[in-house]
Structure 1
Amino acid sequence: MAVLDDLTDPDRLEEINALVSSLDAKDSLLVAKRAGVALAQLEAVQYRALSRLSEVRGGVRGVVQEVALELSLVDNFAGSLVATGVALTSRLPRTLSLMDRGEVSGFAAQKVAEATAWLSDEDSLTAGAVLESRLLGKNSDQVRKAASYAAAKADPAGAGKRSTESRDGRRLSMAQGEAGVASIEVVDGPVEKVTAAYQRIHREARALRKQGDTRTMDQLRADIALDLLLGGQGGVSERTEVFLYMDLTTYLGLNEDPVTMAGHGYIPAGLGREIASGANTVLRRIVTDPLSGQVEDLGRTRYRPEAATAEFVRVRDRECRRPGCTRAAHTCELDHSIPWQFQGETNVADLVTYCPRDHRLKDEPGWIYRLDPDGCLTITTPTGQTHISTPPPLHEPRPEVLPF
């Protein structure tokens, strides 16, 4: 079939897409499979390029952030790509060869790299040789399990040490979702404690269902876990502080524009009004430019100038200003665009918010930051690429409200 000949030829994409739209079920599956082979081969090229970038740059910390900016990726995924590229070109050449033949996907290769990351180079080569014949036709979860087994067989003593280190590295993480939801997870917690905790929550949920509670078991388990964490069910509930960006007309219900929650993203207008109408809610007046929607001033009567300046910058920026970072500005650090020792001034035209990680990145060699008076930030990376960060407007431009 002609459509299978070369799926990577950009000059034939229009022709290929037209042909695909007329395929039957069997041929559609064949084309999808062939496209997967081509993707794996291109991903192998990408991994080699990222490995080479890391090599040329000496493996410095800023490589991951530069890749994230250039490829429009979140930092964690960019870091995984770079680490996988380095692993495949140094420790796992056989897995990379499987990708060259289109027999293993880039995502599956990441699983191999992650599962063997703790091995020495010699043991990685051993595990890679064992895996070469065991990865074909496996999905990513099967690949991960096979790679973990091969790694443990290659270094049994190291596997025991790794288990201890993993348990010592336990942490709590939070991930933002969409439309007013988020997730909280205990990462690398001791399996026996996590299992016991889940069983306790499940028992309480099941007891409530037997008593006639109409919530689903999933809802009950989630609600019980949060209640326990917040000291509910007879305990003292904790208060939290969230920052909502909502214009007056949305607050009054005159429109349904999405509301921004700092560090989370957009939530429906109705949910924003529900949160804003809470008994302990504190509202602040923010003056914006109708033409741009940008923050011009804050209503304040009680803050000294230094605190007011910091608050204005955080309200204006909303999040860490390095493009792609969504850390809420009220948890970020303020930084002078022009360093204080070089006559930088502490005012809204010279201050910008960065999370601690990106604040450190700013001082890495080759990174150039320029902040314009209107708050527009231009970042030039060590390879000469430029990325622009502009404070998001509080609302859409509304020239119709002007009296002229």
Structure 2
Amino acid sequence: MPKSQATTDLDQMVEEMRMLVPAGDDADKVAQLAALEKLQASAAAAIARVSTEFLESQRDRQRDLGVPSHRRGRDTADQIALARRISPSQASRDLKFARALRDDLPVTADLLAAGEISERVARAVHRETDHLSADQRSAIDREVARRLPGLSVKEASAAAKRAAYQADPASAVKRAAKAAKDRRVWTKPAPDTMCTVTALLTAAQGIAVWATLRRDAQALIASGAAGDRTLDQVMADLFVERLTGQSVASAVPVEIHLVMTLAMLFGAQPDGAAYGQGVETDPDGAAWLEGYGPIPAAVARAAIAGVPDLLGPTPQELDRGQAWIRRLFVDPATGQLISADKRRRRFDGAVRRFINLRDRVCRMPFCDAPIRDHDHLVPYRDGGETSVDNGAGVCQRFNQIKNLPGWTTEVIHGAAEADAPPGEHPHTIRITTPTGAVYYSTAPPVPGTRPARPKPPTSTVDVQFPSGLRLAS
């Protein structure tokens, strides 16, 4: 569709920023940085204004279409997420922030639009006052905002928090009680095949956990029982031992799932095929650890063998590795996993697991949420098959909003509009939003494969460790 003059002007601004030449003088470079920071803050305020206007116009449109009032605007954040290339959850938080700036924090919004404060400072004010009434928020905005240009993010947060406590001390106590009910534990992948385990606890509990680990780790070091481990390493090992009930951290029984090529597992192309025939696989490429992401093939092989140092297991160690191997076929042109049975209503069993392995995370572009639902892209009621081709792993949010008026999803294979070279058939979904914007989502290839011209298919292995296999730290 043709662009408006306002959009064209923004495109021109982007091009000007792309071509910006740093100043020759260092003092001018600093001035440029200051001006660019103001521009970034002003752009954040503009995004907020456009987002709130878009929300209102979408609600009006859906009202005219007869959408029930409680469902109007539910997909607005998802459309914003696609346009801004961010996750839907982030877009929802941003939209809530934008509405707060418009309705309750107008002075803060003006400072942000003028580039006098950063977006992080404005978000700090919003975060610390979000639980208050509109009148209380507006009063704090008038009180605190005038000092914001001279405050850091931490100082702005503290100032808004103090004002919120004074405005409604009883609410602060209620929030603390509610927050205690939100305690939880979650994991997040870290670089170099590490993993962060995070616990949200009450302040007293969190400090007690950390202080106990530190005290006992210092005692082990003082007694000489820690060997050459550092204080942080001993604390980490104690954390694992006490949570799992194991005598040592390396004795934790695990059941995990890996996706890797036969070349990665055995160090050669399957069936003796030479490179250049069909899908090429790299013995030292990246395997996929479900629930974590890509890991080096050497680490995957070591996990199978259960070797202590996670490095370079010997063939004998691999032979002794207790692993259950399931063959999954790979498209010889694209290196992607392909098909299974079709005539069922529910995605379960092998089909469900297949979709999980193929898609890994929600198929909505820019959404990194874990797969919660297995969705018919062409609805079952419209004749859509329960197949890996017509199925997609999605988050609950996308599964709901894709059924709202104006949304369509369809599977395409090798379409020119998806920029797929002729003859290749990646599993690609075309998503059209109510505004007519079109987005594509293509399933990632199997780790370690390089698409080539079609040849006889190779295999991947899905390695599932039995509970008795022990993975060393």
Settle same-fold status: TM greater than 0.5: yes
Task: Please state whether the residue corresponding to 1:393 is helix, strand or coil.
Answer: coil
How does 1:139-288 map onto structure 2 within 5 Å?
A: 139-187=152-200, 189-210=201-222, 211=224, 212-233=226-247, 239-253=253-267, 255-278=283-306, 279-288=321-330
Deviations 1:10-68 (A, max 9, x none): 56546632x43x332x3322321221112111211111111222333347332222222
Within 5 Å, give how 1:2-401 maps onto structure 2: 9-10=13-14, 12-13=16-17, 16-17=20-21, 19-20=22-23, 22-24=24-26, 26-58=27-59, 60-187=73-200, 189-210=201-222, 211=224, 212-233=226-247, 239-253=253-267, 255-278=283-306, 279-296=321-338, 307-329=349-371, 332-372=372-412, 375-394=427-446, 395-399=449-453
1:147 maps to a residue whose letter is: A
Matched-pair contact (CA < 8 Å) for 1:135–1:143: yes
Secondary structure of the corresponding residue to residue 147 of structure 2: coil
Q: Distance in 2 between matches of 1:308 and 1:11?
A: 49
**What is the distance in 1 between the residues matched to 2:433 and 2:13?**
31
1:92 Cα shift? 0.3
Task: Look up the SS of the partner of 1:173 in the other structure.
Answer: strand
* Counterparts of 2:304 and 2:436, CA distance in 1: 44
Taking structure 1 as the reference length, the TM-score comes to: 0.85
- Partners of 2:217 and 2:152 in 1: how far apart? 34
Using the TM superposition, give the Cα deviation of residue 274 of structure 1 relative to its aligned residue in structure 2, in angstroms. 1.9
Q: Is the 8 A contact 2:431 2:438 kept in 1?
A: yes
Tell me, yes or no, if the aligned pair for 2:41 and 2:117 is still in contact at 8 Å.
Answer: yes
In structure 2, C-alpha distance between the alignment counterparts of 1:177 and 1:236, rounded to whole Å? 19
* Alignment check: 8 A CA contact 1:259 1:272 kept: yes
Alpha-carbon distance in structure 2 between the residues aligned to 1:61 and 1:215: 52
| Contiguous gaps of at least 5 residues in structure 1 | 1-7, 299-304
- What SS does structure 2 have at the residue aligned with 1:295? coil
Letter in 1 for 2:284: E
Q: How many residues of Structure 1 are paired with residues of Structure 2 in the alignment?
A: 384
Q: Structure 1 residues 173, 54: CA separation in 2 closer, same or farther (over 3 Å shift)? A: farther
Q: Which whole-Å deviations, capped at 9, do the CAs of 1:296-324 have from their partners, x for residues lacking one?
A: 368xxxxxx96333333333323322222
Identity of aligned pairs, percent? 27
Q: CA RMSD in A?
A: 2.8
Contact residue 368 and residue 379 of structure 1 kept, 8 A: yes
Task: State the shift of 1:236 in Å.
Answer: 12
Counterpart secondary structure, 2:329: strand
In the aligned structure 2, how far is the partner of 1:121 from the partner of 1:328? 35
- Contact 2:86-2:367 at 8 Å conserved across structures: no
Moved more, 358-367 or 189-198: 358-367
User: Does structure 2 conserve the Cα–Cα contact (< 8 Å) formed by 1:263 and 1:326?
Assistant: no
In the alignment, the residues of structure 1 paired with residue 151 and residue 237 of structure 2 have an alpha-carbon distance, to the nearest angstrom, of 37
Cα pair distance change 1:37/1:270, threshold 3 Å: same
TM-score, length-normalised on structure 2? 0.74
Instruction: Give the partner amino acid of 1:23.
Output: D
Do the aligned partners of 1:263 and 1:319 also contact (CA within 8 Å) in 2? Answer: no
Range with bigger deviation, 140-149 or 254-263: 254-263
8 Å CA contact 1:370, 1:377 repeated in 2: yes
- Structure 1 Cα separation of the partners of residues 374 and 455 of structure 2: 33
Q: Unaligned 5+ residue runs, structure 2? A: 1-11, 60-71, 269-282, 307-320, 341-346, 414-424, 458-473
Higher mean C-alpha deviation, range 149-158 or range 320-329: 320-329
SS at match of 1:143: helix
Change (3 A) 1:384 1:219: farther
Give secondary structure in 1 for the equivalent of 2:326. coil
Could you say what secondary structure the match of 1:57 adopts? Answer: helix
Higher mean C-alpha displacement, 370-379 vs 380-389? 370-379
Deviation larger for 29-38 or 342-351: 342-351
CA contact (8 A) 2:132 2:164 kept: yes
Comparing 394-403 with 53-62, which one deviates more in the overlay? Answer: 394-403
Structure 2 CA distance, aligned partners of 1:10 and 1:280?
55
Q: Which has the higher contact order (CA 8 A, sep 6+)?
A: 2
Offset at residue 257 of structure 1 (A): 1.4
Partners of 2:262 and 2:49 lie apart in 1 by: 52
Shift of residue 98, structure 1, vs aligned partner: 1.0
